[in-house]
Chains A and B, each alone.
Chain A
């Protein structure tokens, strides 16, 4: 008897809150514009639609940053999102930035190459925030953040993240409501760091399955044993729990060694929105 997990969201309510968040957090920092890396995937498409709705499409710059092995489909899908939202856009191939470093180390594996690409994309993103005079909008969802399926200082780098409290399953619901092109909603999720890469292939389980488990563990505070009793496979549960723990470092600012009477993050405590 498997416990029913309801991940349904009211998309109008979510849209209302998230566009308000984007508008508020960008305006109070003295900006009116946003820049976003558009991968052709679901998450960046949703973030792009939200930013366009919040700020006006003329105030959003979407960047397509392919590497030579990036799938042509991803570029096409990103272009569909650009056209559907009416945002400004720029395409820049990152191959000449990436290849000299990769070629320097003949033994380099996929993980290192993927990290380099993600971080190069972030260099371009942040450069364009200055050129466009906007803030970088993040595209990471709650599932990825909890599983650590992000590149530190790569795709997780941003000034604000509208979808970081939505599981992948919920992002998909929101995408349908926003009018994200159906082909983007339907395709298998991928970080698109190498040809044929899919998230679920790497993770070893589907987002739909892990979202339900994460919802029970995190939102409903079930113990691992209670999740097993709810019908999840024991090895799956323990693997996910351990993965969440091991990736905590990606969710935190690096710890500062406390020496003084007042240390940033420990007893120097202010919101980012301080004074605004």
Chain B
């Protein structure tokens, strides 16, 4: 089976959901006309990234009666869509979220689990933590979604892998950092290292979108990427420019790679659980929360 995936790296208007929605709809139309089956937008693509006190004003709910999601769900009749947004739950907590829309339905919502709150990041001040990591079924197989810091911890991608994901969709609004003599920023190199590692270790497809543009002095570097189960880079978007990067992937590559390298077959899930239980129970070697 073939999947034509469109990686949309867009600039956004900070806090202007309506304008960002219009851009989404235009890009979705373009992706559809170019034959895409699935289009993926970056983290917080409907709102912009450094929201701070704008957060409550830009929040919405991924439902058919929501004025932001209604046109997106209508568009998802033609191709699957992944969008980034601020979700307000029924008890008025705000999450950095991603929604997978297909054939007029919200198939899945992922709420960002790890909220960086150090250095230049301040997400934990404004948002609630998500507390689930789950793969879900789509027309193209089982998929998992993670948002930026989520994939900087090894555990969420591992959980998705065990939960059956063969396509990992990672979305970022990653600020550019680390100018050196190299042609790319440190932040770009860091991300690509781990994308490739996940694709190789989980013998799965890994797609990543990152936004472009500026917010105050922060730059966002784009460079959307798709890695195949062999850890090979199949497609890459340009740096610092808006772009819609289309790539057709052969899902049967999963069969060929996993025949060569049966890491999934050999994964000892029960051993990991047993050792984790031991570690978590042992108060003398406290690791993490």
**Is chain B a partner of chain A in the same complex?**
yes
Residues of chain A touching chain B, judged by Cβ–Cβ distance below 8 Å, are: 6, 8-10, 12-14, 16-17, 20-21, 24-25, 165, 268-276
Contact of B216 among A6, A20, A273 (CB under 8 A): A273
Contact of A272 among B181, B182, B184, B216 (CB under 8 A): B216
Docked Cα-Cα span, A165 to B185, in Å, equals 14
Contact of B219 among A12, A21, A269 (CB under 8 A): A21
Q: Which residues of A contact B77 (CB under 8 A)?
A: none
| B15 at interface by CB-CB < 8 Å | yes
Tell me the nearest residue of chain B to A170, going by C-beta: B179
Q: Which residues of B contact A14 (CB under 8 A)?
A: 179
Q: Are A275 and B15 in contact (CB under 8 A)?
A: yes
Q: Are B184 and A273 in contact (CB under 8 A)?
A: no
Contact of B214 among A9, A268, A269, A273 (CB under 8 A): A273
Q: Are B179 and A270 in contact (CB under 8 A)?
A: no
Known pairs A10-B183, A17-B176, A275-B16. 11 more at Cβ < 8 A? A6-B181, A9-B179, A10-B182, A13-B182, A16-B240, A21-B219, A24-B213, A271-B215, A273-B215, A274-B15, A275-B13
Tell me the nearest residue of chain B to A16, going by C-beta: B240
Contact of B180 among A6, A20, A270 (CB under 8 A): A6
Between A and B, 24 residue pairs with Cβ closer than 8 Å are: A6-B180, A6-B181, A9-B180, A10-B179, A10-B181, A13-B179, A13-B183, A13-B185, A14-B179, A16-B240, A17-B219, A20-B219, A24-B213, A25-B216, A268-B53, A269-B52, A270-B53, A271-B14, A271-B52, A271-B215, A272-B216, A273-B14, A273-B215, A276-B14
| B217 at interface by CB-CB < 8 Å | yes
Tell me the nearest residue of chain B to A161, going by C-beta: B217
| B107 at interface by CB-CB < 8 Å | no
Q: Which residues of B contact A268 (CB under 8 A)?
A: 53
Q: Which residues of A contact B240 (CB under 8 A)?
A: 16-17, 20
Q: Which residues of A contact B52 (CB under 8 A)?
A: 269-271
Q: Give residues 144-201 of B contacting A (CB, 8 Å).
A: 176, 179-185
Contact digits for B247-285, partner A, Cβ 8 Å, 1 yes 0 no? 000000000000000000000000000000000000000
Q: Are B183 and A271 in contact (CB under 8 A)?
A: no
Docked Cα-Cα span, A28 to B50, in Å, equals 16
Docked Cα-Cα span, A25 to B185, in Å, equals 21
Docked Cα-Cα span, A276 to B217, in Å, equals 14
Q: Which residues of A contact B215 (CB under 8 A)?
A: 271, 273
Docked Cα-Cα span, A165 to B175, in Å, equals 14
Q: Tell me, rounded to whole Å, the shortest Cβ–Cβ distance linking B12 to chain A.
A: 10
| B54 at interface by CB-CB < 8 Å | yes
Docked Cα-Cα span, A21 to B213, in Å, equals 8
Docked Cα-Cα span, A216 to B179, in Å, equals 15
Docked Cα-Cα span, A165 to B182, in Å, equals 17
Docked Cα-Cα span, A271 to B214, in Å, equals 11
Q: Which residues of A contact B182 (CB under 8 A)?
A: 10, 13
Docked Cα-Cα span, A14 to B52, in Å, equals 28
Tell me the nearest residue of chain A to B122, going by C-beta: A269
Contact of A269 among B13, B53, B179 (CB under 8 A): B53
Q: Give residues 210-243 of B contacting A (CB, 8 Å).
A: 213-217, 219, 239-240
Q: Tell me, rounded to whole Å, the shortest Cβ–Cβ distance linking B121 to chain A.
A: 14
Q: Are A271 and B13 in contact (CB under 8 A)?
A: no
Q: Which residues of A contact B213 (CB under 8 A)?
A: 24
Q: Which residues of B contact A269 (CB under 8 A)?
A: 52-53
Tell me the nearest residue of chain A to B241, going by C-beta: A20
Tell me the nearest residue of chain B to A219, going by C-beta: B178
Contact digits for B1-32, partner A, Cβ 8 Å, 1 yes 0 no? 00000000000011110000000000000000
Q: Which residues of B contact A270 (CB under 8 A)?
A: 52-54
Docked Cα-Cα span, A272 to B52, in Å, equals 12
Q: Which residues of B contact A271 (CB under 8 A)?
A: 14, 50, 52, 215-216
Docked Cα-Cα span, A165 to B240, in Å, equals 18
Docked Cα-Cα span, A165 to B120, in Å, equals 14
